[in-house]
Structure 1
Amino acid sequence: MAWLRKFFAFWYDFVVGDDWRAAVAVVAALAITYGVSRTGAPSWWILPVAVILVLPLTLWRVARRQ
Protein backbone atom coordinates (compact mmCIF):
# COMPACT_ATOMS: atom_id res chain seq x y z
CA MET A 1 0.00 0.00 0.00
CA ALA A 2 2.90 2.37 0.60
CA TRP A 3 4.01 2.16 -3.03
CA LEU A 4 0.49 3.14 -4.15
CA ARG A 5 0.54 6.17 -1.88
CA LYS A 6 3.99 7.14 -3.22
CA PHE A 7 2.79 6.66 -6.79
CA PHE A 8 -0.17 9.02 -6.33
CA ALA A 9 1.95 11.48 -4.34
CA PHE A 10 4.41 11.63 -7.23
CA TRP A 11 1.70 12.29 -9.80
CA TYR A 12 0.01 14.87 -7.59
CA ASP A 13 3.31 16.69 -7.12
CA PHE A 14 4.12 16.39 -10.83
CA VAL A 15 0.76 17.70 -12.05
CA VAL A 16 -0.08 20.23 -9.38
CA GLY A 17 3.44 21.23 -8.41
CA ASP A 18 3.68 24.53 -6.58
CA ASP A 19 0.60 26.21 -8.01
CA TRP A 20 -2.70 24.37 -7.97
CA ARG A 21 -4.35 27.25 -9.81
CA ALA A 22 -2.16 26.67 -12.85
CA ALA A 23 -3.03 22.98 -12.81
CA VAL A 24 -6.74 23.80 -12.67
CA ALA A 25 -6.32 26.27 -15.54
CA VAL A 26 -4.58 23.63 -17.67
CA VAL A 27 -7.29 21.07 -16.98
CA ALA A 28 -9.97 23.66 -17.78
CA ALA A 29 -8.19 24.63 -21.01
CA LEU A 30 -7.96 20.99 -22.03
CA ALA A 31 -11.66 20.48 -21.26
CA ILE A 32 -12.63 23.58 -23.23
CA THR A 33 -10.43 22.48 -26.13
CA TYR A 34 -12.12 19.09 -26.12
CA GLY A 35 -15.57 20.64 -25.98
CA VAL A 36 -14.87 23.03 -28.83
CA SER A 37 -13.27 20.30 -30.94
CA ARG A 38 -16.44 18.22 -30.64
CA THR A 39 -18.41 21.03 -32.32
CA GLY A 40 -16.21 20.98 -35.40
CA ALA A 41 -14.95 24.52 -34.82
CA PRO A 42 -11.20 25.13 -34.86
CA SER A 43 -9.85 24.56 -31.37
CA TRP A 44 -6.09 24.71 -31.91
CA TRP A 45 -5.87 28.24 -30.54
CA ILE A 46 -7.32 27.59 -27.07
CA LEU A 47 -4.24 26.06 -25.42
CA PRO A 48 -1.79 28.72 -26.67
CA VAL A 49 -4.15 31.44 -25.41
CA ALA A 50 -4.42 29.66 -22.07
CA VAL A 51 -0.63 29.54 -21.77
CA ILE A 52 -0.36 33.23 -22.71
CA LEU A 53 -2.86 34.07 -19.96
CA VAL A 54 -1.84 31.65 -17.20
CA LEU A 55 1.95 31.79 -17.40
CA PRO A 56 2.33 35.54 -16.66
CA LEU A 57 -0.17 35.30 -13.81
CA THR A 58 1.72 32.37 -12.29
CA LEU A 59 5.06 34.13 -12.64
CA TRP A 60 3.63 37.33 -11.18
CA ARG A 61 2.29 35.43 -8.18
CA VAL A 62 5.69 33.81 -7.55
CA ALA A 63 7.59 37.08 -8.03
CA ARG A 64 5.26 38.83 -5.59
CA ARG A 65 6.13 36.27 -2.88
CA GLN A 66 9.86 36.88 -3.22
Structure 2
Amino acid sequence: MLLLIHPTILAIAKQSPNYKKLFLEEQRRREDKQRRREATEQAQKEEEHRREATEQAQKEEQHRREEEQR
Protein backbone atom coordinates (compact mmCIF):
# COMPACT_ATOMS: atom_id res chain seq x y z
CA MET A 1 0.00 0.00 0.00
CA LEU A 2 1.40 3.35 -1.03
CA LEU A 3 1.13 5.93 1.71
CA LEU A 4 1.51 9.63 1.12
CA ILE A 5 3.45 11.28 3.91
CA HIS A 6 3.04 14.97 4.51
CA PRO A 7 6.26 16.85 3.52
CA THR A 8 6.50 18.46 6.97
CA ILE A 9 6.56 15.06 8.62
CA LEU A 10 9.36 13.96 6.32
CA ALA A 11 11.32 17.15 7.02
CA ILE A 12 11.02 16.66 10.77
CA ALA A 13 11.88 12.99 10.46
CA LYS A 14 14.99 13.72 8.40
CA GLN A 15 16.26 16.18 11.00
CA SER A 16 15.83 13.72 13.81
CA PRO A 17 18.48 11.12 14.58
CA ASN A 18 15.60 8.69 14.95
CA TYR A 19 14.06 9.61 11.61
CA LYS A 20 13.50 6.01 10.60
CA LYS A 21 11.72 5.25 13.87
CA LEU A 22 9.55 8.36 13.51
CA PHE A 23 8.78 7.55 9.91
CA LEU A 24 7.78 3.99 10.75
CA GLU A 25 5.64 5.15 13.68
CA GLU A 26 3.80 7.61 11.43
CA GLN A 27 3.38 4.97 8.76
CA ARG A 28 2.00 2.51 11.33
CA ARG A 29 -0.36 5.20 12.69
CA ARG A 30 -1.72 5.91 9.22
CA GLU A 31 -2.13 2.21 8.44
CA ASP A 32 -3.97 1.68 11.73
CA LYS A 33 -6.25 4.61 10.94
CA GLN A 34 -6.95 3.15 7.49
CA ARG A 35 -7.72 -0.28 8.98
CA ARG A 36 -10.11 1.29 11.50
CA ARG A 37 -11.84 3.23 8.73
CA GLU A 38 -12.21 0.07 6.63
CA ALA A 39 -13.51 -1.90 9.63
CA THR A 40 -16.08 0.82 10.31
CA GLU A 41 -17.20 0.80 6.69
CA GLN A 42 -17.49 -2.99 6.74
CA ALA A 43 -19.54 -2.90 9.95
CA GLN A 44 -21.85 -0.31 8.39
CA LYS A 45 -22.31 -2.46 5.29
CA GLU A 46 -23.08 -5.51 7.43
CA GLU A 47 -25.61 -3.55 9.49
CA GLU A 48 -27.28 -2.28 6.31
CA HIS A 49 -27.43 -5.85 5.00
CA ARG A 50 -29.03 -7.05 8.25
CA ARG A 51 -31.53 -4.20 8.13
CA GLU A 52 -32.45 -5.01 4.52
CA ALA A 53 -32.82 -8.71 5.34
CA THR A 54 -35.11 -7.85 8.27
CA GLU A 55 -37.22 -5.57 6.08
CA GLN A 56 -37.47 -8.26 3.41
CA ALA A 57 -38.53 -10.87 5.99
CA GLN A 58 -41.19 -8.49 7.32
CA LYS A 59 -42.51 -7.86 3.81
CA GLU A 60 -42.64 -11.59 3.11
CA GLU A 61 -44.48 -12.23 6.38
CA GLN A 62 -46.97 -9.45 5.61
CA HIS A 63 -47.52 -10.89 2.13
CA ARG A 64 -48.03 -14.38 3.59
CA ARG A 65 -50.64 -13.04 6.05
CA GLU A 66 -52.46 -11.20 3.28
CA GLU A 67 -52.55 -14.38 1.21
CA GLU A 68 -53.94 -16.36 4.16
CA GLN A 69 -56.77 -13.86 4.59
CA ARG A 70 -57.93 -14.31 1.00
TM-score interval (norm. to shorter): 0.3 to 0.5
Higher RCO (CA 8 Å, separation ≥ 6 residues): 1
Structure with larger Rg: 2
